[in-house]
Amino acid sequence: MTTAYAFSTQLYLDGHRTDGRATTSLVVRNPATEEPIAEVPDAGPDDVRRAVEAARRAFDEGPWPRMRPRERAAVLLRMAEEMERRLPELVAVNMAEAGSVRALAETLQTRVPVAHLRDMAERVLPAFDWERPVAPTPVPGLGISQGVLRREAFGVCALISAYNFPFFLSMMKVIPALAAGCTAVLKPAPATPLESLLIGDFADAAGLPPGVLNIVTGDAEAGRVLTTHPMVDLVSFTGSDTVGRLVYGQAAASLKKVVLELGGKSANLVRADADLDGAVRSSLAGIVTHAGQGCSLLTRTLVHACVHDEFVARLTEGLAQVRTGDPADPATTMGPLISAAQRDKVEKLIRTGEEEGARLAYGGRRPVGLERGWFVEPTLFTDVDNSMTVARTEFFGPVGVVIPFADDEEAVRIANDSPYGLAAGVWSADPVAAYEIAARIRAGGVAVNGGSAGVSPRVAFGGYKQSGLGREWGEFGLEEYVQTKSVTWAAR
């Protein structure tokens, strides 16, 4: 296998680097240049099975599940220290393989997941309710019972992450799985495997026992072997709702626990009394952040009719200031889509919007002067009805829609009229009214008047409806990776 990077791009199995039995490679390309930057093994079924078997041995026979929480916390902290030492490398790889602009690569893509790791080791693990006594309780006709409730690691976990936030999404699964005492096989998206492979280096540096974390690179077949393997106890998947349904079905035959973080078409409600400057910035970010490749981005903006025209004019002005191009250039504010296939999908949806009668208020084409790279202009549709395809389908591209509403009742109805329910936003000068609206929106997270609290390790992340099952981050993520056992005895 070849690579331009200093770290290994081999599989990470049972604490060792190996090409495995793969006979073919996956080519990783820079989406801004279309040039190949690395090759990784296209792991076959045998490689995946070896990874699962290593994780099974490590769980059944190894020390990791039996360590005290503070002992596991110490290893996780050493991993965090190694990540911090190699942050510049992580940032560079993220810009190259995922196409993140520098500002995003240096924050949400890299430093934020390291902060989550530290929080798990320093705050969550020491305070988690691992064991709780059951008070002596009379049981009619059977005497008095007492005992202990134990929280124990779920077992072997299959962790499958998406391409858009490679390191972030992988770590949001690895962190709680390892903290709980589970063992795992991580399979990153085939388009962006490099940052996840680096996690093997961090595990080695921290002294993680062999087999506790295994990393395989491969395509859909590797994922299918993972989700159907009888030795896997839990599957955690991040990706589209279409693939999520397949994963759910594959895991069902052996009744595995499934955690799904899927898509969204998140609404951003702008009331008549809103701070329009802040609301416009929020909607602009929903369109251009990572070229729209984010499941929780607010891409469906609902604006009170009395401020609709002014809002659209300001948002259009903001889109005109977006600089699309080389992600490594600090002046660039929007990078490329991940692949030619994703660009084709986005362009097809843009044409559908025009055909259904929505007005293309800005963009919709490929940027002039960028012949290489999978770029699309930031795009805005107005004159949109919530029944249109562009209002109901997740683009995963830099496209937003604006829909007017007459009052709060209509705004909430439109916001909830979606198969998804991942995130939302509310903008209003009246905090009480904003909170009441937020409480009525069927979404896993609602941001009132912006802010960055939504990525805090102290909040729960996950969706309603077809946006997924379960929660991630902090103690809420840890809960998904433990089971409760009752150990009882008769009181004497």
Residue 4: its pLDDT value, please?
65
Q: How far is CA 227 from CA 10, 52, 220, 333, 408, in A?
A: 22, 11, 11, 37, 43
List 147's β-bridge partners, or say none.
134, 488
10-64 residue pLDDT tens:
999 999 999 999 889 999 999 999 999 999 999 999 999 999 999 999 999 999 9
Residue 71 and residue 171 share a domain:
yes
Q: What is the pTM of this model?
A: 0.96
Residue 1: its pLDDT value, please?
42
Residue 4 falls inside a structural domain: no
Provide the number of structural domains found in the chain.
2
Residue 366 and residue 254 share a domain:
no
Residue 135 falls inside a structural domain: yes
80-102 residue pLDDT tens:
999 999 999 999 999 999 999 99
Q: Cite the DSSP H helix spans in 120-269.
A: 125-127, 166-180, 194-206, 220-228, 241-252
CATH number where 72 lies: 3.40.605.10
Has residue 2 got a pLDDT over 80? no
Residue 153 and residue 197 share a domain:
yes
108-134 residue pLDDT tens:
999 999 999 999 999 999 999 999 999
Residue 209 and residue 144 share a domain:
yes
Q: Which of 295, 347, 475, 480 is catalytic?
A: 295
Residue 7: its pLDDT value, please?
87
Beta strands in 109-200 (DSSP E): 131-139, 143-153, 156-160, 183-187
Q: Per mean pLDDT, which range of 133-137, 225-229, 382-386 is the poorest?
A: 133-137
Residue 3 falls inside a structural domain: no
Nearest to 153, CA basis, from 440, 489, 481, 460: 481
Has residue 3 got a pLDDT over 80? no
CA separation for the pair 295, 112 (Å, rounded): 17
**Phi/psi of residue 3, nearest 5 degrees:** -160, 155
Residue 42 and residue 160 share a domain:
yes
Give Rg (Cα) of the chain.
Answer: 23
Residue 270 and residue 253 share a domain:
no
Residue 28 and residue 150 share a domain:
yes
Domain limits for position 341 = 266-456
Over residues 219-243, the mean pLDDT reads 97
Has residue 465 got a pLDDT over 60? yes
Residue 42 and residue 80 share a domain:
yes
Residue 238 falls inside a structural domain: yes
Mean pLDDT of the chain: 96
> Which of left, alpha, beta for 440 (phi over 0: left; psi -120 to 50: alpha)?
alpha
Residue 221 and residue 84 share a domain:
yes
Residue 239 and residue 122 share a domain:
yes
408-452 residue pLDDT tens:
999 999 999 999 999 999 999 999 999 999 999 999 999 999 977
42-52 residue pLDDT tens:
999 999 999 99
CA separation for the pair 121, 131 (Å, rounded): 18
Has residue 155 got a pLDDT over 60? yes
| CB contact at 8 A, 227 and 247 | yes
Length of the chain: 492
Q: Which of 261, 347, 472, 475 is catalytic?
A: 261
- Does 295 qualify as catalytic in the annotation? yes
Residue 84 falls inside a structural domain: yes
- Does 356 qualify as catalytic in the annotation? no
